[in-house]
Structure 1
Amino acid sequence: MTNNDQNNSRARRFRNALLASALTLGIVGGTGAGLVIGDSPAARAEPVRVEAAGPADFTSIVEKVKPAVVSVRVKTEISPVSDQGSPFGDIPEDSPFYEFFKRFGPPGFEFRGPNGQNPHSPRFGMSQGSGFFISEDGYFVTNNHVVDHGKEMVVVMDDGRELDAKLIGTDEKTDLALLKVEGSGFTYVNFAQEEPKVGQWAIAVGNPFGLGGSVTAGIVSANGRDIGNGPYDDFIQIDAPVNRGNSGGPTFNAKGEVIGVNTAIFSPSGGNVGIAFAIPASTVQQVVADLKQDGKVTRGWLGVQIQPVTKDIADSLGIDQTTGALVADPQDNGPAKAAGVQAGDIIAKVDGKDVKGPRELAQIIAGYDPGATVTLDVVRNGSTQQIEVKLGNLAQVASTGTDQAPDAQPGSFEGYGLALAPNDGGDGVLVTGVDDGSAASEKGLQAGDVIVAVGGQKVSSVSDVKSGIASAQKNGRKAVLVQVQSERGTRFVALPVEKG
């Protein structure tokens, strides 16, 4: 072996020794030096991978469902702005302003002829929306607000045909309407039987801005939305572009099934901003079945004023749960009161169905027919009992008015910011004053309110209120539950006892 060969061999052995040392240092000192070790948990962690893909396009879906979607034109009567004729008085034909006001008069301007008479002829407007067939014999669904006050209704088919429509029935509370056209063999669509999941495709077909047969797509962005539209709010939120004129049109899933009826958009500008709301298919099917049978919707009626179970109310009752619906007041002559439901009860279940809050209770009860008997799981004084209630017909709960008592020497509750006095006008104790920024003010108490119970016990004097608060403090409660009557009805408020 030559000197060069020996030198090269020594160099290779030296490099291999250095590499082995480096690897050994990496394994031993990796944790301290922040190096990644091959078998550590960090090295094994991988990003989430989802083997799923949406359709390349929606052509096949749209081709099948589009003929079932129609444009709805509604002729509505508009009340005159004034029944006194011209706002400027009688304008005879020989007046120099006669032609001007005849041509350019303001909307609702009714012009008097030479004899000074005003014909008060009716004026009409035209509204437009969308709808879709649900049966081959011509029944179709749209929004109530599309056909409201309608005198004549015409549907424009996907092929351009125009057909007169007859109103079968409407439901203002869910904003749904059922109509029918004469004929048979219409292309119709089915409702989805499963609630759509957030992230699924949403395909809206309708008549935005009068442009019939428009298709937009997006995803379901939320379920169970409450937009303050009514007691039965349970909307699907979608981000498919929906605009004026889409009202009453369907939103489909990727199977071509109707998941909802477009009814509202959130828009500061009046145009689409990516938030639209659809009535769920389950609600539509239930309402449509009633409208088809009776032309109206009948709902069960429990007869209670209810409110959420907040954390402070739960503390005042000595319970942990914040679900269920708190009964603020069982209505006189109502089914609940007749069955033994009391103010302060928490309705936790109906026929075994969990009640998350007041909205869910209203929706569950509305699903029953009047006359049906339901079993309520009621939490009272910390224990659960079952009460059977035979439901009545839905009625509006009347607000409880309260007569204000004459001036009296108030009792002051330092820490609560409350001034109380005997209620000479009836039961309970009158609130005569509430300090701004106080605990009572934060809970919405106002002068003129009447406290009828404290800690579940009825009160008739200021001393009764003090006793109720003291009892809650003695029992270690963080808050005391106060039942209040006002012009807005009956409700419960939880006042924190540590501030008393």
Structure 2
Amino acid sequence: MIPRKNFLAAVAGLALFGQTLIANADLPDFTPLVEDASPAVVNISTKQNQPVRGAQAQMPDLEGIPPMFREFFERGMPQRPDRRREAQSLGSGFIISKDGYVLTNNHVVADADEIIVRLPDRSEMQAKLVGADPRSDVALLKIEGDELPIVKIGSSEALKAGEWVVAIGSPFGFDHTVTAGVVSATGRSLPNESYVPFIQTDVAINPGNSGGPLFNLKGEVVGINSQIFTRSGGFMGLSFAIPIDVAMDVANQLREDGKVSRGWLGVVIQEVNKDLAESFGLERPAGALVAQVMDGGPAAKGGLQVGDVILSVDGKSIDMSGDLPHLVGAMKPGSKAKLDVVRDGKRRSLTIEVGALPEDGDQLASAGGPGSSTKSNNRLGVAVTELTDAQRQQLEINGGVAITEVSQGPAAMIGMRPGDIITHLNNEAIDSVKKFTQVVKDLPKNRSVSMRVLRDGRASFITFKLPK
């Protein structure tokens, strides 16, 4: 047993050693960065005129009065003026030019009737909205000024996980609050945010930080703080920033053209999981699987087909399917894109002229109907019927069969239901009930099999295995 005196001495020694390590650790000093950058970080408040709910004028009951007399009574009633109130929101922003251009988030200024920018010296200016892009959540403002303080713009492309980063903003209205952390990941895809490869950090971000700058240790802006992931409404360690390269491209287009143009292929894609990779003959799950090709779109004109797996664009690898919209969206409409794809287990290259992303996506209708059909006692456990010419034209497809019945079997286990359209099975196009029956008969056992299904106008590939 160690004597108590020696034990206490050892503990004290360890504590002193720990303090020495902390003192000697190469931790960054953010003071110079904050002093240089803070003058160009602004607070943004907005005002919206909204109708007041409730407190409506007391209206007599006119039920049962003939219309001609009801109109008389309504005309004789005193009209209350439309009472309105001002709704305010707070956010952050930063000045990027000496003549007063300011970057912030679109959601900070959306639907605002008035935008007020407050500078570090507490002076306030009314800002003009130059333009906004909801898809990237970037907005460009303009205030009057000359020789205003500006931030240094860096590049987000070279950012790596583990780098120190600093945020300056106005969380809950507390101006010029400084928080720091590290880059957790880059190139993050978020739901419903297809065109921004977000920077993920663990920097504390709260309401009011939105639109504020994210700095690297050189004092350069590398991102715009935009979103957090939370289950409590507050910070939980997951913050997301728009890369400054994306934001500046958007700002320049808004300034010059008043709108943002993005590249577009005209495809619906999905993730390649382990089973899909096996069914398509891939060595590992990677790439973007083409589930649907828009008729007449750039991809269709360039020869891209349903079932192709896109592995790279202009030499840049597509590891996750969400990488594809980022890369293509950043391309200029009319430019050429070289795609490396896997088709029928073989690699090939395609060159496609990139189109312009439409304002609104087209919606396809689902269909199903009577015709030549099968019974549901096949190996897949579904009954299918031929599609009519009108249904195929409505769906803009050349083949496919519609499911009319689902019994116990693999199809039921993977969630198939009547009305689903099967267009491909085991990498073969299905253009008739006869073809479907033949392919089902020859399906391999105990191996992942892919099937392309159209439901409510949206296509996707799913996989299943037949038992031995």
Q: 2:451 pairs with 476, 479, 482, which one?
A: 482
Task: State the match for 1:191 in structure 2.
Answer: 153
1:407 Cα offset (Å) = 8.9
Q: Indicate conservation of the 8 Å contact 1:399/1:487, yes or no.
A: no
- How do 1:93-172 residues align onto structure 2 when only pairs under 5 Å count? 115-172=77-134
Does 2:34 correspond to 1:62? yes
Q: Indicate conservation of the 8 Å contact 2:253/2:260, yes or no.
A: yes
The one-letter amino acid paired with 1:453 is H
Give the Cα separation in 2 of the matches to 1:298 and 1:249: 24
Task: State the match for 1:203 in structure 2.
Answer: 166
Q: 1:133 to 1:491 in 2, by over 3 A?
A: same
Q: Indicate conservation of the 8 Å contact 1:195/1:259, yes or no.
A: no
Does the residue aligned with 1:226 lie in a helix, a strand or coil?
A: strand
Give the Cα separation in 1 of the matches to 2:152 and 2:121: 21
The one-letter amino acid paired with 1:449 is D
Does 2:422 correspond to 1:451? yes
Does 2:187 correspond to 1:215? no
Aligned residue pairs: how many?
Answer: 425
Deviations 1:168-225 (A, max 9, x none): 1111011111111111211111233253332222211111111212112222223233
Q: Indicate conservation of the 8 Å contact 2:215/2:223, yes or no.
A: yes
Give the Cα separation in 1 of the matches to 2:80 and 2:101: 42
Give the Cα separation in 1 of the matches to 2:332 and 2:373: 51
Does 2:376 correspond to 1:412? yes
Matched residues, percent identical? 39
Give the Cα separation in 2 of the matches to 1:495 and 1:397: 30
The one-letter amino acid paired with 1:485 is L
Q: 1:477 to 1:165 in 2, by over 3 A?
A: same
Give the Cα separation in 2 of the matches to 1:413 and 1:119: 70
Give the Cα separation in 2 of the matches to 1:162 and 1:144: 20
Does the residue aligned with 1:399 lie in a helix, a strand or coil?
A: coil
Q: 1:431 pairs with 403, 415, 427, which one?
A: 403
Q: 1:377 pairs with 340, 362, 366, which one?
A: 340
Give the Cα separation in 2 of the matches to 1:499 and 1:416: 11
1:481 Cα offset (Å) = 2.5
The one-letter amino acid paired with 2:324 is L
1:408 Cα offset (Å) = 8.0
1:440 Cα offset (Å) = 2.8
Does the residue aligned with 2:153 lie in a helix, a strand or coil?
A: coil
Does the residue aligned with 1:446 lie in a helix, a strand or coil?
A: coil
Task: State the match for 2:65 in structure 1.
Answer: none
Give the Cα separation in 1 of the matches to 2:162 and 2:57: 56
1:472 Cα offset (Å) = 4.3
Does 2:150 correspond to 1:177? no
- How do 1:14-53 residues align onto structure 2 when only pairs under 5 Å count? 53=26
Does 2:265 correspond to 1:302? yes
Give the Cα separation in 2 of the matches to 1:271 and 1:174: 23
| Between 177-186 and 403-412, the greater mean CA deviation after superposition | 403-412
Give the Cα separation in 2 of the matches to 1:80 and 1:393: 42
Task: State the match for 2:467 in structure 1.
Answer: 499
Task: State the match for 1:27 in structure 2.
Answer: none
Give the Cα separation in 2 of the matches to 1:276 and 1:342: 37
Q: 1:314 to 1:199 in 2, by over 3 A?
A: closer
| Between 161-170 and 217-226, the greater mean CA deviation after superposition | 217-226
Does 2:301 correspond to 1:329? no
User: Please, which runs of 5 or more residues in structure 2 have no aligned partner?
Assistant: 1-20, 62-73, 393-398
Does 2:352 correspond to 1:389? yes
Q: 1:415 to 1:447 in 2, by over 3 A?
A: same
Q: 1:338 to 1:62 in 2, by over 3 A?
A: same
Does the residue aligned with 1:293 lie in a helix, a strand or coil?
A: helix
Task: State the match for 1:25 in structure 2.
Answer: none
Does the residue aligned with 1:67 lie in a helix, a strand or coil?
A: helix
Does the residue aligned with 1:261 lie in a helix, a strand or coil?
A: strand
Does the residue aligned with 2:222 lie in a helix, a strand or coil?
A: strand
Give the Cα separation in 2 of the matches to 1:280 and 1:413: 54
Give the Cα separation in 2 of the matches to 1:218 and 1:435: 54
Does the residue aligned with 1:262 lie in a helix, a strand or coil?
A: strand
Q: 1:345 pairs with 308, 318, 321, which one?
A: 308
Q: Indicate conservation of the 8 Å contact 1:422/1:461, yes or no.
A: yes
Give the Cα separation in 1 of the matches to 2:282 and 2:219: 47
TM-score, normalised on structure 2? 0.83
Does the residue aligned with 1:160 lie in a helix, a strand or coil?
A: coil
The one-letter amino acid paired with 1:261 is I
1:303 Cα offset (Å) = 0.7
Give the Cα separation in 2 of the matches to 1:227 and 1:352: 24
- How do 1:353-368 residues align onto structure 2 when only pairs under 5 Å count? 353-368=316-331
1:488 Cα offset (Å) = 4.3
Give the Cα separation in 1 of the matches to 2:452 and 2:57: 53
Q: 1:409 to 1:303 in 2, by over 3 A?
A: closer
Deviations 1:125-157 (A, max 9, x none): 111100001122211110000010111111000
Give the Cα separation in 1 of the matches to 2:239 and 2:42: 20
Q: 1:190 to 1:446 in 2, by over 3 A?
A: farther
1:233 Cα offset (Å) = 4.1
Deviations 1:372-400 (A, max 9, x none): 12222222112222222112210244232
TM-score, normalised on structure 1? 0.78
Task: State the match for 1:42 in structure 2.
Answer: none
Give the RMSD, CA atoms, in angstroms: 2.8
The one-letter amino acid paired with 2:109 is V
Give the Cα separation in 2 of the matches to 1:312 and 1:130: 45
Q: Indicate conservation of the 8 Å contact 1:90/1:116, yes or no.
A: no
Deviations 1:403-461 (A, max 9, x none): 2214986522556443433445544221123458x533454432210112223433244
Does the residue aligned with 1:142 lie in a helix, a strand or coil?
A: strand
Larger Cα Rg: Structure 1 or Structure 2?
1
Task: State the match for 2:366 in structure 1.
Answer: 402
User: Please, which runs of 5 or more residues in structure 1 have no aligned partner?
Assistant: 1-48, 92-111
Task: State the match for 1:244 in structure 2.
Answer: 207
Q: Indicate conservation of the 8 Å contact 2:277/2:286, yes or no.
A: no
Q: Indicate conservation of the 8 Å contact 1:303/1:397, yes or no.
A: no
Q: 1:80 to 1:333 in 2, by over 3 A?
A: farther
Q: Indicate conservation of the 8 Å contact 1:331/1:397, yes or no.
A: no
